[in-house]
Amino acid sequence: MNEALLHLDHVSKSYRLGRVLVRAVDGVTLDIERGDFLALAGPSGSGKTTLLNLIGSIDKPDAGRVVLDGVDVTATPLHHLATTRRESIGFVFQTFNLLPVLTAWENVEYPLLLRGMSRRERQERVHHWLEQTGIRAQAKQRPDQLSGGQRQRVAIARAMAGEPKLVIADEPTANLDSETAAHILDLLAEINRTTNTTFVFSTHDHALIGRARTVVRVRDGRVAQTEPTAAAA
């Protein structure tokens, strides 16, 4: 890996809590290489979730630039950011964020409908990713009929069906037991290996940190340390 998919250039973000101005991200400069499997690690309140939101174009920085695959997304008008996210970025959340009235199949298909994709291509992608994530047998079930691990598999299939350049995962194993979390980690690592899709996680999970190729330690809104791991060897 020697090509940066994402470049953060002196990025800062502050929030006002009452009369107090909190600098959640403070002048972060960071390159994320194409195909990396990167963990943002740090204690609660360190700024890693805010940094993840900036990386995923969910939020815009107060200062600095976020460049995704050569495009300065900080210069992109807000009404165009949704298109950028839909076409270039997949999201996996700790609470799954599935639509409860839709089946597993329909949850994976829904973002593709928003993109105006043809029925045939939607069906091919949904079928492929439900198979790849081991959830094809549950395609007709709604989220309340699925276990936590199965729901996360549907969420991963949904994120990958759009063929994103980047997948953002916010504490993806936090609501899972240790055995289920290990299976989800195996799945994510295999998808990263076979597709070269770039994954960026925020996590407290030491198992996930150990599986990452790169670990970015965040403290007080700043990058305290960036280190390759044994998984990168």
Q: Note the pLDDT tens digit of each residue in 208-218.
A: 899 999 999 99
What CATH number does the domain located at 33-62+77-232 have? Answer: 3.40.50.300
Q: What is the pLDDT of residue 1?
A: 45
Please report the pLDDT score of residue 205 as a whole number: 85
d(CA 143, CA 105): 11
**Alpha helix segments (H runs only) across 76-172:** 78-88, 104-114, 119-132, 148-161
For residue 118, the Cα-to-chain-centroid distance in whole angstroms is 25
How confident is the model over 58-107, as pLDDT tens digits? 999 999 999 999 999 999 887 788 888 888 999 998 899 999 999 999 99
pLDDT in tens, 109-129: 999 999 999 999 999 999 999
- For residue 230, the model assigns a pLDDT of 55
Task: Please give the model's pTM, rounded to 2 decimal places.
Answer: 0.91
Say yes or no to pLDDT of 180 above 50. Answer: yes
d(CA 46, CA 62): 18
Q: Which residues pair with 15 in a beta bridge?
A: 22
58: left (phi over 0), alpha (psi -120 to 50) or beta: alpha
The structural domains of the chain, with segments of one domain joined by +, span 33-62+77-232
Residue 39 has pLDDT above 90, yes or no: yes
Mean pLDDT in residue range 5-34: 93
Mean pLDDT (the chain) is 92
Residues in the chain: 233
**Rounded CA gap, 16 and 51, in Å?**
16
Determine the pLDDT at residue 228: 73
pLDDT surpasses 80 at 51: yes
